[in-house]
Structure 1
Amino acid sequence: MSEDKHTEWKESWGDEHLKVICAFANAQGGVLEIGKNDKGQFVGLSAASASKLLEKLPNKINAVLGIIPEIDHIKETGKSLLQIKVKSYKNPISYKGRFYYRSGSTNQELRGNELFDFLLGKMGRSWDGVTVPRASIDELDSEVLAKFRKLAVDSKRLPEDILEESNEELIKKQLKLTEDNALKRAAILLFHPDPEKYVTGAFIKIGYFQDDAEVLFHDEVQGDLFTQVRETMKLLLTKYLKAFISYKGLYRVESYPVPESALREALINAVVHRNYGSGAPIQIRVYPDKIIFGNTCRLPSGWTVKDLTSKKQSEPYNPDIARVFFWANMIETWGRGIIQMQKACVAYGAPEPKIGGSESHIHVEFKNHEADMAEKLAKKAVLEKKPLKTPIKTPIETPIKTPIKILKILALNPNITIPELAQQIGKSESATWRTVRKLQKEGRLKRVGSKKGGHWEVVKKDEK
């Protein structure tokens, strides 16, 4: 038996315990028991002490916190126990000008973005529904809006009338992404060509890691949220993941270690439900044996990570963004994303993704079962007497020193520029140039064509 998010014990009363009552009132409610030690064992109060507290506490709590909890008096073996039962309040409750919130068995003072989000929630507002007075509809990308219109009409989730509406009519009347003629944050993220102008960290970061200590190469995907989803999927499938080729009749089939539909669902979930107020980008870490999607978030009040895989009604942290993605036919129904990921992996023969994190951060881990896939495809090829092609789109697997790292990157991307190469290996441009020239002198690398229009060619050992 231990304290939890709904229970706390105190041997005696002290006015500092008003913080506990404040925290319960701002969260899901709870019971403060006076007369138990920190192990939950009954120690009791004297009859005189209990009588004084029964008279004092209702007035004290009401005067300081503005609420009136229920107080039960329980007598046992000549001693007393007081149970202060606190309900959850829709309006924010403060203690001496500070706001406390029950998290697990602790009482946390809310500050900064956490306090801002808390107060917004108590007012029935969401982070993506806050306006950005400086931004105008003219700044939004007309091409992205046009693509959205087509997606929404083709899926029959919005009427064809929107094809004739101006951008202003679409944003204001149909999507309701303004308030008092000011754009909401959701509109900026969804349709602005550079949302980072107004929202710090509104991009996606992808990296390929040999291990947790060494990143081989990385990319940042910026732009509106629709572009971020599209370009990130493209990078994952063409640069970061290894596909195996098999044949079905005359047709070539590319098989990835994780089903595309599951990757797409994980990506869209991260984009839609991310806590953009944190300033931290979505991070996708690709390893030789796994892929991890990580993003900051705010779980609904009372939820734990386990609830994400339950059938609870979804409560999107960014309801305006989620609604627009639904109209664009990019999400089916709110609350089923993780279950759909799991089903897609099982149907594909891949392990189910692992969901972990906390109230403020979620990560989804896919196990890369390419070794199992290679074995299955090899057996199939033998049975069908067909050759098994080697993997394509192979990321760098065994970097050790800078020259080897450079050769492997150039083998993957022969058109890369020196500044881009320097950024990927984490070296200066001058140091990168020195290593490249050395590789050229050793005959391990050559430049084909001009400086601007040419490309790099890694020399194989048997070509030397």
Structure 2
Amino acid sequence: MSEHQHEEWKASWRDEYLKWICGFANAEGGVLVIGRDDEGAVIGLHDARRLLEELPNKVRDLLGIMVDVNLRTDAGLDYLEIAVPAYPNPISYRGEYYYRSGSTNQALKGAALDRFLLRKQGRHWDGVPVPGFGVADLSATALAGFRKRAARGQRISAALLAEPDAVLLDKLRLFEQGYLKRAAVLLFGDDPERLVTGASVKIGYFRTDSDLLYHDEIHGDLFSQVDRTLDLLLTKYLRAGISYAGVQRLETFPVPEAALREALINAIAHKDYASGIPIQISVYDNKLMIWNPGQLPLHWTLDQLTAKHASVPYNPDIANVFFRASLLESWGRGIDLIRQACMAYGSPEPRFRWDNGLWVELPFMVVDEGRTTQETTQETTQEQILALLQAEPALTRKALSERIGLSTDGIKYHLDKLKKAGAIRRKGSTKSGHWEVLK
């Protein structure tokens, strides 16, 4: 016999144990036993009958709740059992909130307290309204990009997509009490980090866990974060194998793009944005790992998360908009889709673990050296840039971006690499100058 989620033992009564009663009330309820030692043995309570009268009133006056206090006897020794029901509303003791988790009683602070209070109110972090932000503060580019995605996916009617921004946002349930929700600011804001610290993605290439070779940070609205992160991973961080089918050149990435995309979108959609910590992607020579700070659904385990389960999105409003934009194909199937994509690609099975958030590890596929020549995707992209600049020296970064299909940030990265390698140089001004291909 031992203490657990629903039972705690104390040898004698102290008023500070009202914190434990508060913790039970805020969690799943439980029983506080007074008169048992740490081993669970009944040692008796000399003032049990007095406490039987006093405690119900003390709990009512200081916590505002009702509990059952029962007198028990074992081998002639009296002890008390205080049965505490779970309360649907938050309960505080002297202005502090406590929560029973396992066999511990925790004082809730910061983001944990925020999550607890929202859950007790039946709300989610991304659904909280934000005074001071209006439709005019959102990015017209992000909203236009959403309309294009949604039109292709046909999960929103063409008539609704033609409505003004305010009407569309309202139909997406991104308004409450006349204010935009946090989800709207993250999804479409020009600079979401004005409101939400750490609403970004960090990528690093590591030789070892402690040896970081280079890194990037991706900021902006959530749609831009998806596109730019995937773009950087495929063009800068992953080494592609090159093979040929006749004269056709084929690139084989070490992980399936479909699995990488699904893992990235799920990390961005289900992140705990109250944490203030960016999503972190670590790339090694043999694997890629994605970590997003998050919270499992109440009472869930990692096994439940990685098995077939009902959809319980951590950020329902963000997930709904991603679904309408066809970024989330089906709620509740993200992990299964990652596994299926790896199996179809012939790459190793992905691994999942929980450590203050979900780690997704995608081991790299070993490319058959006998039939492929290893080249980096960076080299392939730079070859295209050189060919285009040789033919049209006046091409701008934006024009190169459109021709090759990379972001302007990706083009800038490759141009800088080519300049450092002495392959190109810029002649004249940024607006009216041109490129010279040197080798």
* TM-score normalised by the chain length of structure 2: 0.82
Counterparts in 2 of 1:58 and 1:343: CA distance versus 1, 3 Å: farther
Tell me what 1:392 maps to: 376
Distance 1:289 1:394, change over 3 A: farther
Is 1:363–2:362 an aligned residue pair?
no
Unmatched tracts of structure 1, length 5 or more: 382-386, 396-411, 422-435, 437-444, 459-464
Give the match for residue 166 of structure 1.
164
Partner of residue 45, structure 1: 44
Counterpart amino acid of residue 239 in structure 2: K
Change (3 A) 1:8 1:169: same
| Post-superposition CA distance 1:7-33 (Å, at most 9, x none) | 322222222111112112112223323
Question: Quick check: 1:140 aligned with 2:138?
Answer: yes
Contact 2:49-2:71 at 8 Å conserved across structures: no
* Distance (whole Å) between structure 2 residues aligned to residue 35 and residue 391 of structure 1: 72
- Which of 266, 281, 284 is the matching residue for 1:284? 281
The AA in structure 1 aligned to 2:107 is E
Q: 1:16 to 1:351 in 2, by over 3 A?
A: farther
What is the Cα deviation at residue 163 of structure 1?
2.8
* 2:209 alignment partner, one of 205, 208, 212: 212
Q: CA deviation at 1:81?
A: 4.7
AA partner of residue 174 (structure 2):
L
How far apart are 1:140 and its partner, in Å? 1.9
CA distance in 2, matches of 1:349, 1:70: 60
Match of 1:109 in 2: 107
Q: CA deviation at 1:189?
A: 0.9
Instruction: Kindly tell me the number of residue pairs found equivalent between the two proteins.
Output: 402
Cα–Cα, structure 1 residues 74 and 339, in superposed 2: closer, same or farther, change >3 Å? Answer: farther
Whether 1:261 and 2:258 are equivalent positions in the alignment is: yes
Q: CA RMSD in A?
A: 2.9
| Partner residue, 2:408 | none
Deviation of residue 80 (structure 1)? 4.1
- CA distance change for structure 1 residues 312 and 37 in 2, over 3 Å: closer, same or farther? farther
- Correspondence for 2:27: 27
In the superposition, the TM-score normalised over structure 1's length comes to 0.78
Q: Distance in 2 between matches of 1:351 and 1:54?
A: 62
Q: Which residue of 1 aligns with 2:386?
A: none
Mapped to 2, the partners of 1:28 and 1:13 lie a distance apart of 22
Q: Tell me the equivalent position of 1:201.
A: 198
Instruction: Give CA deviations for 1:419-456 in whole Å, capped at 9, x if unaligned.
Output: xx9xxxxxxxxxxxxxx8xxxxxxxx646534776689
* Distance in 1 separating the partners of 2:150 and 2:413: 37
**TM-superposition CA deviations, 1:274-328 (whole Å, max 9, x none):** 1222222111111122222122223333334443224443332221111111111
SS at match of 2:373: coil
User: CA offset at residue 71 of structure 1?
Assistant: 4.1
Distance 1:356 1:106 in 2: 23
Q: Give the counterpart letter for 1:449 in structure 2.
A: R
Listed one character per residue, the Cα deviations across residues 224-271 of structure 1 (whole Å, up to 9, x for unaligned) are: 111110111111111111122234565443222222222112111111
Question: Structure 2 CA distance, aligned partners of 1:245 and 1:218?
Answer: 25
Equivalent position amino acid for 2:169 in 1:
I
1:149 equivalent in alignment to 2:126: no
Q: Report how far residue 73 of structure 1 moved.
A: 4.5
What residue ranges of structure 2 are gaps of 5+ in the alignment? 380-411, 429-433
1:337 Cα deviation after fit: 1.4
**1:92 corresponds to:** 90
- Residues 210-235 of structure 1, C-alpha deviations (whole Å, 9 max, x = no match): 11222111111122111110111111
328, 341, 346: which is aligned to 1:344? Answer: 341
Alpha-carbon shift at residue 59 of structure 1 (Å): 2.2
SS at match of 2:144: helix
CA spacing shift, 1:415–1:23, aligned 2, 3 Å = same
For 1:68, what is the secondary structure of its paired residue?
coil
- What is the alpha-carbon distance in structure 2 between the residues aligned to residue 273 and residue 160 of structure 1? 28
Paired residues of 1:415 and 1:456 also in contact (CA < 8 A): no
In the alignment, is the contact (CA less than 8 A) between 2:196 and 2:276 conserved in 1?
yes
What SS does structure 2 have at the residue aligned with 1:132? coil
Residue 92 (structure 1) shift: 0.3
Kept in 2: contact 1:27–1:302 (CA 8 A): no
Given the superposition, is the C-alpha separation of residues 448 and 149 from structure 1 closer, same or farther in structure 2, using an over 3 Å criterion? Answer: closer
Q: Choose 216-225 or 245-254, whichever is displaced more.
A: 245-254
Distance 1:353 1:28, change over 3 A: farther
Q: How does 1:417-428 map to 2 (within 5 A)?
A: none
2-structure distance, mates of 1:364, 1:455: 43
In 2 relative to 1, CA 37–135 (structure 1 residues): closer, same or farther, beyond 3 Å?
same
Distance, in Å, in 1 between the alignment partners of 2:285 and 2:173 is 44
User: C-alpha separation between the residues in 1 aligned to 2:169 and 2:344?
Assistant: 39
Q: Deviations over 1:402-429 (max 9, x none)?
A: xxxxxxxxxx9662279xx9xxxxxxxx
Q: Is the 8 A contact 1:11 1:34 kept in 2?
A: yes
1:57-68 matched pairs, under 5 angstroms: 57-68=55-66
- The residue aligned with 2:293 is 296
Q: Say which SS state the counterpart of residue 208 (structure 1) adopts.
A: strand
CA distance change for structure 1 residues 150 and 414 in 2, over 3 Å: closer, same or farther? closer
The verdict on how the C-alpha distance between 1:45 and 1:189 changes in structure 2, with shifts beyond 3 A counting, is same
Aligned residues with identical type, % of pairs: 48
CA distance in 2 between partners of 1:2 and 1:287 (Å) = 44
2:425 to 433, 438, 449: 449
Retained in 1: the 8 A contact 2:425–2:438?
no
